[in-house]
Amino acid sequence: MAKPSYDQIAHQFADVLSQSKKVLIGTHMNPDGDTIGSALALSHYLDGLGKPNDVVCHNEVPSNLRFLPGVERIKQGTEATDHDLALIVDMDSLERLGSLQFIFERVPRSVVLDHHVPHEAPGDLRLVDTDASATAVILANTLFAMDAPITREMATCLLTGIVTDTGSFRFRNTNPEALSVAARLIEQGGDINQVSEEIYHRKPYSSVKLLGHMLDTMHLECEERLCWGALAMEDFWNASASDTDTEGFVNELLAIKTVQIAALLREHKPLRIRVSLRSRGDYDVAAVAREFGGGGHHNAAGCSFECPLSEATDMVVERLKKCLASS
């Protein structure tokens, strides 16, 4: 995909914003730092323009992202029906809005900001670059090209998107663009130390306790190339933990040196299963996630469905074994 021309995009984006009276900003289900950080940066920017706006998310914000300035404005829905512009942040399909999808379908105009592959979400204006490390990179570049004032709060929100989507500049998607945008955000007052501390070093005890259980019960298969864990409702009860406490767990499974594919299945509500998939190199876990109605990136994807945990585990593990065998 060709690199977008940010000068052109900036122009179009400023135009669309100036024509709107009230904006609805949408984040994806099971939100991460990129969707929340980018959405909040947009919200702060619109505040600066004096433009009324709401930010919504299907789920509650994970506890490690609650330090973000403005996070309290994120609601699980909205009563208002007078939004005339939707900003859809960090998702490849409107289904990722979850239960809020219908609210967005009635907003007359939309702008999509995203970096996922393949990209299917519609949008009257599309700020899409599948080579960007994070949606926050696309948004920051757009704001830079608009000569928008980047406040400290905006810089911290955008940095959070880049730090989380690149795994603190460690994942394969870390590129010069992500690093230079991050550098510029730090110059604007973004606090990278605060971002890293809050995201990685402020875990509740319940989370670390549940992690211990996951590591204790994980399975290593296929000559130690596949590692998976499954957390049942009662495991959450025993640790007094909730699904937001499992942020980053699957990466611990992928950290084993022989492991090429890692999966974590969680029964976050009775019979409701969430699956996080991670891989190294050529193994395409996004393709696997799509078969189960989910999506994501080549090396990081997810899906969710309704069935008993053991059944879900059998299905997913079988499919991942095929994925390992085929590449």
Please give the residue ranges that form the binding site for Mn ion (CB under 5 A).
34, 90, 134-135, 165
Q: Are strands 219-221 and 226-231 parallel, antiparallel or unpaired?
A: antiparallel
User: Distance between CA 326 and CA 315 in Å, rounded?
Assistant: 17
* Residue 156 DSSP one-character state: H
Q: Which lies closer to Mn ion via its Cβ, residue 92 or residue 198?
A: 92
Q: Which lies closer to Mn ion via its Cβ, residue 116 or residue 225?
A: 116
H/E element, 14? helix 6-19
Strand partners, 149: none
Q: Which lies closer to Mn ion via its Cβ, residue 34 or residue 129?
A: 34
Q: How far is the CB of 115 from Mn ion (least distance, A)?
A: 6
Write the single-letter amino acid at 303: C
Q: How far is the CB of 90 from Mn ion (least distance, A)?
A: 4
The distance of Cα 324 from the centroid of its chain, to the nearest Å, equals: 25
H/E element, 179? helix 176-187
Q: Which lies closer to Mn ion via its Cβ, residue 121 or residue 210?
A: 121
Contact 61, 30 (CB under 8 A): no
Q: How far is the CB of 165 from Mn ion (least distance, A)?
A: 5
Residue number with the shortest CB distance to Mn ion?
Answer: 34
User: Distance between CA 125 and CA 303 in Å, rounded?
Assistant: 27
Closest Cα to residue 13, out of 40, 49, 37, 54? 49
Closest Cα to residue 283, out of 227, 255, 322? 322
Q: How far is the CB of 296 from Mn ion (least distance, A)?
A: 9
User: Distance between CA 90 and CA 35 in Å, rounded?
Assistant: 5
Q: Which lies closer to Mn ion via its Cβ, residue 165 or residue 235?
A: 165
Q: How far is the CB of 3 from Mn ion (least distance, A)?
A: 17
Q: Which lies closer to Mn ion via its Cβ, residue 44 or residue 297?
A: 297
Q: How far is the CB of 130 from Mn ion (least distance, A)?
A: 11
User: Distance between CA 103 and CA 80 in Å, rounded?
Assistant: 9
* Residue 118 DSSP one-character state: S
Q: How far is the CB of 76 from Mn ion (least distance, A)?
A: 21
Q: Which lies closer to Mn ion via its Cβ, residue 34 or residue 153?
A: 34
